[in-house]
Every structure is written in C-alpha cells, then in structure tokens.
Amino acid sequence: MIVVTAANGNQGRLLIPKLLDAKLPVRACVRSVESARRLHQMGVPDVVVGDVSDPAVAARAVHGAQQVYHIGPTLHPREREMGRTVVDAARAAGVRHFVFSSVLHAITTDLVQHEIKRDVEEHLLSSGLEFTILQPANYMLPLKLKPVFSRGVFELSWSLERRQSMVDLDDVTDVARTVLADGARHYGATYELAGPGRYTAHELGEIISRVLGRPVEVRRIDADTYLKAWVGDADPREVTHQLRVLRSITERYSSHDFVGNPNVLTWLLGRPPTTFEAYVRKHANGVA
C-alpha cells in the first residue's frame, strides 16, 4: 500500500492516476470530504480524511502501508509539524520507504518554506526510515498561466530580471511513480528535479507570447496581491504565515536567481524533461 498525502493537490491529482494505471495499491489522504469524494470517483477505494498534523490522523493514514509519498500542502502554517508527524507515524507503523516531496535548495534558510522542508528532511534522515527525497524547482502550474490566458498578463511576485528554473509536474509525478514502483533502487537518494533552461520573467513572457501568437504583458506584483490568488479576501490576521512565506519569496528571488540543472531529471525520466514552451503549448489548447 502506498499512502499519498495532499492527494487532491497539484501533484496528487497527477500522481494518483499514474499509480492506479500501474496497478499499485493507493491510499489517499485529504482534509475535506469533497476531495475524498473526488478521489473515490477517480478510483481510489481507500481515502483518509483529516488533518495529518494530528498524530491520530497520521497514524490512521499510514497504518499497514509499505510506502508513503508525503507532500506538505502549499502555504500551510503547520507544514513543518505535519511533515514530522507523518515521518514519526510512518516509523511507528513500520513503513518500508518514505518518499518526501521537498524543494530545490531546501538548505536556503531565508526562504520560509525551504527552511521548513530542510527541517523535515533532517527529521526524515534521522528517523532511520529508508527514504527518497525529491527536490523540485519552481512548478509550472496552470494557476500561473491563468492571468495570461484570461487577461494577456504574465505576473510574478519577484524581480522580472532574475532567472528561475522550472519543472513540469507531469515530469515530477512520472519520477514519483518510478521511485515508488522501483522502491529499493532509490533508497537513500536525494534528487534535484529541474527542467531545462533558466528564464527571466521577460523570457517566459516571450515564450508564452510566441505560443499564443499575441503580445503578453509581463508585470511584477507584490506578495500581498499574489496571496489573493491563493486565499481570496481572507482576514489578514488569519494568513500571517502565508504572507511571511510569500514575502520571503519576493525578497530572495529578487536578490538571487533560483536555478538548477536538468541532468538528474533527464536520467530519471529516460527522456528529455518538458520545456516551458511545450508546457505552455499543452495548456494553451483551445486558448491560442
């Protein structure tokens, strides 16, 4: 049995069908009943609903499992506790292999969400569990293309001149499926997962413009505006952690590039990783 946390999220929605197609037994873990219903419809028979930062829920989620694929939900204020709790529950339940979806350059302590993952990685390394750590670069996400498709504006909440490496989640979840299916071959490994190229916002805008065949405006927005895309008009007192994360991203990515190398991803996929242009083409179907 493979337990996937954050199972109805960006990665989970892509990974679960791949595991089911490979006839691997899957248990999904989500917070809401609506997501559990969706996962049942996708063909997942076993779904645990609850907050996995609660040790009792985490224990229920990993009970009887051989493998865990853990993803910390985006901007979650208890992401660190959640990761540690799931690791502890997995160790107590005798899980064989713990795969942690971390982030590229988790050692970067001035990025809040990286420091959290660094801490979870350390906890996992010290747990005695067999582990594999995946460290994806910035995700290529449909959400990031939404303002371009609807308003012709590509928005980033950091310097438009800084370079970033990006990765298609279809590639990341292909790797996750391989790592989970092959198990022991990947014990003790930490894999940096970056797609080809390192782009400024202007270059990303040019690529999108070429694919769509129309001009694209590239615009910098602040962290507070970006947060609205995630949480709408939530009470600011309820989203202090999220704002801290996003402000640290703005700060760091405006003073440093965030770049990786595609060699490891190419090797793991056995094919070239998806380019940003191919990704935009895939999602522009019906828009261009």
Residue 198 Cβ vs ligand NAP, minimum distance, rounded to whole Å: 15
Whichever of 52 and 95 has its CB closer to ligand NAP, that residue is 52
Site for ligand NAP in 89-118 (CB under 6 A): 103, 113
Query: Is residue 83 within the footprint of ligand NAP (CB under 6 A)?
Result: no
Dig out the tokens for 23 from the structure.
Answer: 């006839």
Tell me the residue number closest to ligand NAP, measured at CB: 9
Query: Is residue 242 within the footprint of ligand NAP (CB under 6 A)?
Result: no
Query: Is residue 11 within the footprint of ligand NAP (CB under 6 A)?
Result: yes
Residue of the chain from 2, 10, 124, 173 that contacts ligand NAP (CB under 6 A)? 10
Per the CB < 8 A criterion, the answer to whether 82 and 23 are in contact is no
Site for ligand NAP in 45-74 (CB under 6 A): 51-53, 71-74
- Which residue blocks in the chain are alpha helix, DSSP H? 10-21, 33-42, 55-62, 79-92, 112-125, 142-151, 169-182, 201-212, 223-231, 240-255, 263-269, 276-284
Per the CB < 8 A criterion, the answer to whether 44 and 4 are in contact is no
Q: Which run of H or E residues covers position 68?
A: strand 67-71
Whichever of 185 and 203 has its CB closer to ligand NAP, that residue is 203
Total interface residues for ligand NAP by CB under 6 A: 25
C-alpha closest to that of 95 among 124, 72, 56, 74: 124
Query: Is residue 32 within the footprint of ligand NAP (CB under 6 A)?
Result: yes
Residue 71 Cβ vs ligand NAP, minimum distance, rounded to whole Å: 5
Residue 81 Cβ vs ligand NAP, minimum distance, rounded to whole Å: 10
Dig out the tokens for 169 from the structure.
Answer: 């989640």
- Span interacting with ligand NAP, options 135-143, 194-202, 215-223, 273-281, rule CB under 6 A: 135-143
Per the CB < 8 A criterion, the answer to whether 208 and 280 are in contact is yes
CA gyration radius for the chain? 19
Whichever of 4 and 288 has its CB closer to ligand NAP, that residue is 4
C-alpha closest to that of 13 among 28, 32, 1: 28
List residues near ligand NAP by CB under 6 A: 6-12, 29-32, 35, 51-53, 71-74, 76, 103, 113, 136, 138-139
